[in-house]
Amino acid sequence: MSKRTENIILFDLDGTLTDSADGIIKSAQHMQEKLGMPISKAEDLRFIVGPPLLPLFQSDFGMTLEEAEHALVVYRERYSTVGLFENEVYEGIPELLQSLRQKGKRLAVATSKKQESAIRILDHFGIAEYFEVIGGDNREIGRDTKAKVIAYVLEELHADMSDVVMVGDRKYDVEGAHAIGLPCIAVEYGYGDLAEFEACGADEVVATVKDLDERF
């Protein structure tokens, strides 16, 4: 298989660079408790890791938009102070980022997480320096979908679309990339699985961090 030739690589955060499930799930349980909802078991909440939370609260928790916005505020009470650091960088990621930079690649992050939180996490783990741009959700100015986040990052990079590839671990990454005409590599070590990637049309699937490095 020939190596990929794109020189700009956009990374998702949760499930791609870091294993963030613990903090996200505990913060969702905090939200459920504060709102008087039944508290779900951790294993039953893994589906919330990765996608934008506001539409998910509406579709999967049966909330109105107003209820979902309030639930997000309550969720962030815990996540913004404790939950975002209940997290760890996947083994091999710092070495991957260093390797890609040595190969001359330009790296950036495009996440559905709130941009401020994404920057804090990457700074905390000492890997922010590898990325030219860290882009995330900024609902206050209408940047509230994966596709909009990716578009923002590309604009900040002054990127040639033909020279960019997205890397993510859920269908939301694939769909967001495809919505603006980018290919997407899906990684199996995160929160998605092969069936999900096949259903959403991922351009390529890799199993490990090492496999990802070897594709470039």
| Residues 78-130 pLDDT 10s | 999 999 999 999 999 999 999 999 999 999 999 999 999 999 999 999 999 99
14 forms beta bridges with 18
What was the pLDDT predicted at 142? 86
pLDDT at residue 18 in the model = 97
Q: How many angstroms separate the CA atoms of 28 and 103, rounded?
A: 39
**Amino acid at the residue 122:** L
User: Per residue in 65-74, pLDDT tens?
Assistant: 999 999 999 9
Q: Specify the CATH number of the domain 21-85.
A: 1.10.150.240
- Return the pLDDT at 115: 94
Sheet with 133-137, side-by-side order of all strands: 133-137, 106-114, 8-11, 164-168, 184-187, 204-206
Pairing assessment for the beta strands 133-137 and 88-89 based on DSSP bridges: unpaired
How far apart, in Å, are the Cα atoms of 2 and each of 5, 100, 214, 215, 216? 9, 17, 10, 8, 9
Indicate the SS3 state at residue 39: coil
The yes-or-no answer on residue 12 being catalytic is yes
Which of 12, 19, 137, 169 is catalytic? The answer is 12
pLDDT of amino acid 216: 97
Contacts 24+ apart (CB under 8 A), 149-152: 149/110, 149/111, 149/112, 149/176, 150/10, 150/110, 150/176, 150/177, 150/180, 150/182, 151/180, 152/110
Cβ-based burial of 80 (10 A; exposed 0-12, middle 13-18, buried ≥19): middle
Cα separation, 94 vs 96, in Å, equals 5
For residue 167, the model assigns a pLDDT of 98
Residue 185 sits at φ, ψ, to 5 deg, of -95, 125
Q: What is the pLDDT of residue 96?
A: 98
* Contact yes or no for 128/30 (Cβ under 8 A): no
Q: Where in the chain is the domain with CATH 3.40.50.1000?
A: 8-19+87-214
Question: CATH 1.10.150.240 region(s) of the chain?
Answer: 21-85
**Cα 22 from Cα 85, distance rounded (Å):** 9
Distance CA 201, CA 203 (A): 6
Residues of the chain with pLDDT under 50: none
- The CATH number assigned to the domain with range 8-19+87-214 reads 3.40.50.1000
